[in-house]
């Protein structure tokens, strides 16, 4: 049988009622990960379960280990309205210093974000304005000329050392490098599918999709052999 956290996540009201009737403290109980039935019902937009939990003592401002309240992870306008109606605080910050306005914006729950901003009497922020407070003073990790040169050199070196390698494997290797070293986002930085073209342009090399690129590698090896002779 499902426990209360699973039942709340599944929207199984009858099971939630059965468990709460036996032990009312389960309404605000947290599992081993610090997750409450209130969070589960709010996150999965089960309005009927959320309403029942609140009517039976559910804490609308209960927090999980990240400091998120049910409102932080709410993506449904009706659920958000219910939480606000029963005293949920839209100005509470989680451990990252983000309020429900920021987290719902990041989760693309636009209607919820707009409702919260209206409640707080503030303008709706743009997604690019939501930043981790710890990183607020850190420089943006965009693709600078120095990083582009580093990436270009890395690509060329690996292309020459793995001239017989499958191009798909090389592309995957480049993508992994970009994600690990540049942490490309969908915001200010260049999208992943333009990185190879940018590298090719900066090094006067042809794109990886151009067969001529692969043909250049054996020739460069041959030239190196002549020089050593």
Q: DSSP secondary-structure letter at 109? A: -
Q: Tell me, what's the pLDDT at 123? A: 94
Mean pLDDT of the chain: 76
Residues in Cβ contact with 30 at an 8 Å cutoff, skipping those fewer than 6 apart? 36, 64
pLDDT score of 119: 94
pLDDT at residue 127 in the model? 79
Summarize pLDDT for 72-94 with one digit per residue, the tens.
999 999 999 999 999 999 999 99
Confidence of residue 183 (pLDDT cuts 50, 70, 90): low
**pLDDT per position as a tens digit, 16-27:** 999 999 999 999
pLDDT at res. 126: 85
Residue 50: closest CA among 64, 35, 40: 40
Which pLDDT does position 201 carry in this prediction?
46
Alpha-carbon torsion (119, 125, 126, 128), positive or negative: negative
Dump pLDDT digits (tens) for 111-153: 999 999 999 999 999 877 765 444 444 444 444 455 555 555 6
Res. 101: pLDDT tops 90: yes
Chain segment 220-229, per-residue pLDDT in tens: 444 444 444 4
Helices (H) and strands (E) in the chain, counts: 11, 0
**For 88, which DSSP code?**
-
In terms of pLDDT, which residue wins out, 208 or 182?
Answer: 182
> Which one is predicted more confidently, 195 or 16?
16
Backbone angles phi, psi at 16, to 5 degrees: -60, -45
């Amino acid at each position: 049988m499902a426990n209360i956290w699973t039942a709340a996540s599944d929207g199984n009201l009858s099971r939630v009622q059965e468990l709460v009737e036996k032990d009312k403290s389960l309404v605000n109980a947290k599992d081993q990960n610090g997750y409450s039935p209130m969070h589960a019902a709010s996150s999965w937009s089960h309005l009927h379960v959320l309403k029942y939990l609140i009517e039976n003592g559910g804490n609308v401002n209960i927090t999980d280990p990240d400091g998120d309240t049910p409102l932080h992870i709410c993506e449904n306008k009706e659920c958000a309205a219910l939480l606000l109606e029963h005293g949920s605080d839209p100005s509470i910050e989680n451990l990252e210093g983000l309020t429900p306005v920021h987290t719902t914006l990041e989760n693309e729950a636009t209607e919820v974000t707009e409702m919260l901003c209206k409640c707080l009497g503030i303008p709706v922020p743009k997604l690019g304005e939501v930043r981790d407070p710890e990183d607020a003073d850190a420089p943006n990790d965009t693709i600078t000329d120095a990083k582009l040169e580093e990436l270009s050199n890395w690509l060329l070196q690996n292309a020459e050392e793995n001239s017989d390698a499958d191009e798909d494997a090389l592309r995957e290797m480049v993508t992994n490098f970009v994600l690990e070293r540049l942490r490309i986002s969908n915001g200010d930085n260049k999208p992943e599918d333009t990185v190879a073209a940018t590298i090719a342009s900066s090094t006067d090399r042809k794109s990886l999709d151009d067969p001529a690129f692969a043909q250049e590698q054996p020739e460069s090896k041959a030239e190196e052999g002549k020089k050593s002779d």
